[in-house]
Amino acid sequence: MIAPSKLLFATAGIPACTQPRDTENGIRAVKKLGLGAMELEFVQSVFITKEKAPLVKAAAEKEGVVLTCHAPYFVNLNAKEPQKRGASRARILLSAKMLDLCGGYSVCFHPGFYLGMEPSKVYGNMKAGVAKVLEEVKTLGLKVWIRPETTGKPNQFGTLEELVELSSEFDNVLPVVDFSHLHARSNGKYSTIGEFRHAMELIEKKLGKVAIDNMHVHLSGIAYGPRGEKNHLVLGESDMNYTAVLQALKEFNAKGVVVCESPNIEQDALLLQKTYEKI
């Protein structure tokens, strides 16, 4: 779990310019673009195999590109059915196994839904699910962060406060801070430098400097309404105040990876990187 020595900018998946489109060529494209990281998008399935992983690792090491991953969307650690909770844990664990084999360091996942339950009960279920995942991670000797992501809809578990509290209970759990989700979930809040500073202060106060030195951030344009997130947008077509996010990250001397999930992933990732460098 060696963190980058500075803040790197990443594409969420293989850059659109990649030809032919495979993971190793995606890593090479990231390097050519001048970016420092790439997120493996396991959102529909964990497509990297045990046989393929060493090739991905070799490409990333050769190009000096840091890898993270996003586990499948089909995760709900608060599912009412035990088999669904078990399948959710298995998907997170498989993502962690493959990322570890690829030499990556941080696994993002959506924790799940409230399903009309009391938040305190949901929190307990989430904590139990993460604990079981971590047992397997430690047994297998995987050297990756396990990271629940701040979510974009009010019916999903995953406020920043919830995830900071959850992370504080474990050694190798930290939140993925999706600032765009925070903006959408709150129907337009998290839009000022003061709000972003407050978020960073909360993380540092509760989780310590290790969290600031190991950030995993998602940032893109986003459409939203009273029910939260609708879809990702190009930064220029959104009211997401990404400059203020980057200002807060720089003020706190954050290190780690900022993953761009805009539809035009490489253009907006480069925009974020250039903006950050100018601050």
Where along the chain do its domains lie?
A: 7-278
Q: What does the pLDDT profile of the chain (279 residues) look like in tens digits?
A: 567 889 999 999 999 999 999 999 999 999 999 999 999 999 999 999 999 999 999 999 999 999 999 999 999 999 999 999 999 999 999 999 999 999 999 999 999 999 999 999 999 999 999 999 999 999 999 999 999 999 999 999 999 999 999 999 999 999 999 999 999 999 999 999 999 999 999 999 999 999 999 999 999 999 999 999 999 999 999 999 999 999 999 999 999 999 999 999 999 999 999 999 999
For residues 26 and 265, the answer to whether their CB atoms sit within 8 Å is no
State residue 124's pLDDT score.
98
Alpha helices, DSSP H only, in 11-78?
A: 23-33, 53-63
State residue 1's pLDDT score.
58
What's the token pair of residue 18?
A: 């990649």
d(CA 1, CA 15): 25
Phi, psi of 80 (to 5 degrees): -70, -30
Neighbours of 5 (CB within 10 A): 8
Model-level pTM greater than 0.85? yes
Answer whether the bond into residue 148 is a cis peptide, omega within 30°: no
Sequence-separated (6 or more) residues with CB below 8 Å from residue 49: 98
Q: Does the CA dihedral 213-243-205-224 come out positive or negative?
A: negative
State residue 2's pLDDT score.
63
For residues 215 and 249, the answer to whether their CB atoms sit within 8 Å is yes
Burial 162-185 (b: 16+ CB within 10 A, else e): bbbebbeeeebbbbbbbbbbbbbb
> Which superfamily is assigned to 7-278 in CATH?
Divalent-metal-dependent TIM barrel enzymes (3.20.20.150)
State residue 4's pLDDT score.
87
d(CA 113, CA 37): 30
Of 55, 146, 59, the closest CA to residue 94 belongs to 146
State residue 22's pLDDT score.
96
Q: Does the CA dihedral 232-33-109-241 come out positive or negative?
A: negative
Strand-pair partners of 176: 149, 216
d(CA 154, CA 268): 27
Neighbours of 97 (CB within 10 A): 20
**What one-letter code names the amino acid at 14?**
I
What's the token pair of residue 238?
A: 């959104």
What's the token pair of residue 56?
A: 């991905």
Of 108, 117, 191, 194, the closest CA to residue 151 belongs to 108
Strand-pair partners of 258: 9, 217
